């Protein structure tokens, strides 16, 4: 049976196992694996990417496989060939596909029509592969992924949705500090609450960013304007100005807190330069961990 990773919930049963494998992979960076020889990853990107694209491609090559970058505009998909036919055809060439899409439905259609695993490399609903790197970084720093308070300040977007689910799966508490009307997707929030009941993870929505950050072990933020939302920039920058993660908000976090950001970051908007470049920031460790977690995830799916 092939296994797709469209949501964090597709890793509920082995989320921490993949993180532990990533930590081992980090120690053997240039090791190739016989299982990966001649295995091909196809990477379809409808939107730009630095970390996801380059970490996946490097991961595949270092493990002994290969990766092909696929721009939809250079494929027949850009001229109207259906996603379903594309999935059927690519299944005959490749071993695994990663897909960054504007619409979650596109990723789901590709997964449904493909005979090989499909990895969601970010869509409008979730960013599951980012979460592996985030929680790997949390484990490296705190030695565990449960029993912590993780606060996300900002837009209830794809990253916030996946972070809520990841906290629920891991057994950590999650608080989002966001303006009314910018909460996470309500279906995903319900799902996170259900999972949290089992794992004893408490989830909370808070409109006051200072209260949200109180005693947090991890403070996370992401851009206010996600890819594809450029028209909303002016309005969103006004609505979110009170939600900047800066030194005065961070005074309320636990004294040993860690700052995370999936990147790319905008200093002076969602985060101050003092916070992202300060001593509590682990954002570049987090970014590097995209490589090790990409390896562990692909290895898990293909071996
Ligand atoms: N964090 C992240 O996914 O970055 P990219 O958009 O550069 O891939
Ligand atoms: N929320 C951001 C994440 C970028 C990695 C976006 O979708 O653009």
The closest alpha carbon to 108, from 124, 129, 95, belongs to 124
Atom of ligand 1 nearest to the CA of 287: 1
Which residue out of 4, 125, 155, 262 is catalytically annotated? 262
Where is 150: in which H helix or E strand?
Answer: strand 149-153
Residue environment code for 61-92, b if the CB has 16+ CB neighbours within 10 A, otherwise e? ebbebbbeebebeeeebeeeeebeebbeebbe
How many other C-beta atoms are found inside a 10 Å radius of the C-beta of residue 39?
A: 20
Report cis status (omega within 30 of 0) of the bond before 203. Answer: no
Q: Check residue 51 and give its pLDDT.
A: 98
The rounded percent of the chain whose pLDDT value lies above 90 is: 99
The ranges assigned to domains in the chain are 32-125, 130-286
For residue 290, CA distances in Å to 67, 120, 253, 263 come to 16, 14, 26, 11
Q: Mean of the pLDDT values across residues 211-222? A: 98
DSSP state of 242: G
- CA–centroid distance, 108 to ligand 1, in Å, is 20
Q: Whose CA is nearest to atom 3 of ligand 1?
A: 52
Q: Indicate the pTM of the whole model.
A: 0.98
Say whether 37 is catalytic: no
Q: Is residue 109 very low, low, confident or very high in pLDDT (cuts 50, 70, 90)?
A: very high
Find the radius of gyration of the CA atoms of the chain: 19
> Do 32-125 and 130-286 share a fold?
yes
Rounded distance, CA 146 to CA 130, Å? Answer: 18
Model confidence pLDDT, tens digit, residues 51-92: 999 999 999 999 999 999 999 999 999 999 999 999 999 999
Beta bridge partners of 41: 67, 96
**Is the CB of residue 128 less than 8 Å from the CB of residue 120?**
yes
pLDDT per residue as tens digits for the range 23-40: 999 999 999 999 999 999
- At 229 the pLDDT is 97
Cα separation, 136 vs 158, whole angstroms: 19
In ligand 2, the atom with minimum distance to the C-alpha of 158 is: 1
pLDDT the model gives residue 201? 98
pLDDT at 178: 98
**pLDDT, mean of residues 251-268:** 98
Of these residues, 39, 100, 125, 261, which one is catalytic? 100
Tens of pLDDT, residue by residue over 139-198, are 999 999 999 999 999 999 999 999 999 999 999 999 999 999 999 999 999 999 999 999
Specify whether domain 32-125 bears CATH 3.40.50.1370. Answer: yes
Q: How confident is the model at residue 215 (pLDDT cuts 50, 70, 90)?
A: very high
Buried b (16+ CB within 10 A) or exposed e, 40-54: bbbbbbbeebebbbe
CATH code linked to domain 130-286: 3.40.50.1370
**pLDDT given at position 156:** 98
Cα dist. 186→161, 182, 189, 191, 225 in Å? Answer: 9, 11, 5, 9, 19
Helix (H), strand (E) at residue 205: strand 203-206
Mutate to test the pocket of ligand 1, among 163, 263, 283 (most ligand atoms within 8 A of CB): 263
Asked whether 8 and 126 are in contact (CB, 8 A), the reply is yes
Measured distance CA(116)–CA(94) in Å, rounded? 8
Residue with the smallest CA separation from ligand 2 atom 3 is: 226
């Amino acid at each position: 049976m092939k296994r797709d990773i469209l949501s964090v919930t597709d890793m509920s049963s082995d989320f921490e196992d993949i993180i532990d494998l990533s930590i081992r992979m980090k120690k053997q960076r240039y090791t190739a694996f016989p299982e990966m020889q001649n295995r091909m990853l196809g990477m379809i990107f409808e939107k730009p990417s630095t970390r996801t694209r380059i970490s996946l491609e490097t991961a595949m090559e270092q493990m002994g496989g290969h990766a092909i970058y696929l721009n939809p505009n250079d494929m027949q998909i850009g001229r109207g060939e259906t996603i379903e036919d594309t999935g059927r055809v690519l299944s005959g060439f490749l071993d695994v596909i990663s897909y960054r899409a504007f619409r979650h439905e596109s990723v789901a259609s590709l997964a449904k029509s493909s005979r090989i695993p499909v990895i969601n490399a970010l869509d409008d609903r979730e960013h599951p592969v980012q979460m592996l790197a985030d929680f790997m970084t949390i484990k490296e720093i705190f030695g565990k992924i449960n029993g912590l308070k993780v606060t996300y300040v900002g837009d209830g977007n794809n990253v916030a949705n996946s972070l809520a689910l990841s906290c629920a799966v891991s057994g950590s508490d999650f608080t989002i500090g966001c303006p009314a009307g910018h909460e996470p997707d309500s279906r995903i929030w319900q799902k996170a609450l259900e999972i949290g009941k089992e794992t004893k993870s408490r989830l909370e929505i808070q409109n006051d960013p200072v209260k949200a950050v109180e005693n947090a072990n991890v403070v996370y933020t992401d851009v206010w304007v996600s890819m594809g939302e450029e028209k909303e920039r002016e309005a969103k920058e006004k609505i979110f100005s009170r939600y900047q993660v800066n030194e005065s908000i961070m005074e309320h976090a636990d004294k040993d807190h860690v700052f995370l950001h999936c990147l790319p970051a905008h200093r002076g908007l969602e985060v101050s330069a003092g916070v992202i470049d300060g001593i509590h920031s682990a954002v570049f460790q987090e970014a590097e961990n995209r490589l090790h977690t990409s390896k562990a995830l692909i290895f898990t799916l293909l071996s």
